[in-house]
Structure 1
Amino acid sequence: MAASHINDNKWKTLEKRGNYEMKSIRVTMKSLLAATATTACLMSASAQALTLKLATDSGTQGSPAGDALKKWGELIEQKSGGAIETRVYYQNELGGQQEVFDLHVAGDVDLMLNWPMTSYDKRIGVIYTPYMTLSWDEALNAYSPGGWVNNLLGGIYQDIGLKFFGPWPEGFNGVATRGKYAMNIADAEGLKVRTMTVFPAPQTMQALGYQTAAIDWGEVYTALQTGVVDGEAGNVIYWDYEYFRDSLDYYVQTKHFFMTGVLSANLDAWDSMSDDEKKIVSDAAIEIMSDQFKAAKEQDEHYIAEAQKAGMKYFEPSDEQVREFAKAAREKVWPQMDQEIGSEIMDTIRTNASPL
Structure 2
Amino acid sequence: MAQIKKQFRSLVTAMAAATALLAGAAQAETLKLATDSGTKGSPAGDALKRWGELIEEKSNGDLDVKVFYQNELGGQQEVFDLLVAGDIDIMLNWPMTSYDKRIGVIYTPYMTLSWDEAIKAYSPGGWVNNMLGGIYEDIGLKFFGPWPEGFNGVATRGKYALDIGQADGLKVRTMTVFPAPQTMQALGYQTAAIDWGEVYTALQTGVVDGEAGNVIYWDYEYFRDSLDYYVRTKHFFMTGILTMNLESFDGLDEAQQKAVSDAAIEVMNEQFKAAREQDEFYVQKAKESGMEYFEPSDEQIGVFARAAREKVWPLMDAEVGAEIMETIRGNASAL
TM-score (normalizing by structure 1): 0.88
2:186 is the alignment partner of 1:215 = no
Q: 2:150 aligns with which of 160, 165, 171?
A: 171
Aligned partners of 1:260 and 1:198: how far apart in 2? 14
2:125 is the alignment partner of 1:146 = yes
Aligned partners of 1:81 and 1:154: how far apart in 2? 28
Partner of 2:297: 318
Partner of 2:54: 75
Aligned partners of 2:173 and 2:100: how far apart in 1? 22
2:78 is the alignment partner of 1:91 = no
Q: State the Cα distance separating 1:48 from its structure 2 match.
A: 3.7
Amino acid at match of 2:239: T
Aligned partners of 1:220 and 1:289: how far apart in 2? 28
**5+ residue gaps, structure 2:** 1-14
SS at match of 1:234: strand
Task: Please report the RMSD computed on the Cα atoms of aligned residues, expressed in angstroms.
Answer: 1.6
Partner of 1:105: 84
SS at match of 2:96: coil
Contact 2:25 2:61 in 1 (8 A): no
Q: State the Cα distance separating 1:80 from its structure 2 match.
A: 1.9
TM-score (normalizing by structure 2): 0.93
**5+ residue gaps, structure 1:** 1-34
Give a deviation string over 1:64-108, Cα, whole Å, max 9, x none.
000000000011111222221100000000000000000000001
Aligned partners of 1:83 and 1:348: how far apart in 2? 41
Amino acid at match of 1:348: T
Partner of 1:344: 323
Q: State the Cα distance separating 1:216 from its structure 2 match.
A: 0.1
Partner of 1:271: 250
Partner of 2:167: 188
Contact 2:186 2:307 in 1 (8 A): yes
Aligned partners of 1:73 and 1:200: how far apart in 2? 32
Amino acid at match of 1:326: A
When structure 1 is superposed on structure 2, of 174-183 and 75-84 the one drifting more is 75-84
Q: Percent identity?
A: 78
Partner of 1:15: none
Contact 2:176 2:194 in 1 (8 A): yes
Amino acid at match of 2:182: Q
Aligned length: 321
Partner of 1:132: 111
SS at match of 1:233: strand
SS at match of 1:199: coil
2:267 is the alignment partner of 1:283 = no
Amino acid at match of 1:152: M
Amino acid at match of 1:249: D
Q: State the Cα distance separating 1:46 from its structure 2 match.
A: 4.3
Partner of 1:232: 211
Aligned partners of 2:145 and 2:62: how far apart in 1? 25
Give a deviation string over 1:119-178, Cα, whole Å, max 9, x none.
000000010000000000000000000000000000000000000000000000000000
Amino acid at match of 2:209: D
Contact 2:27 2:62 in 1 (8 A): no
Aligned partners of 1:121 and 1:81: how far apart in 2? 36
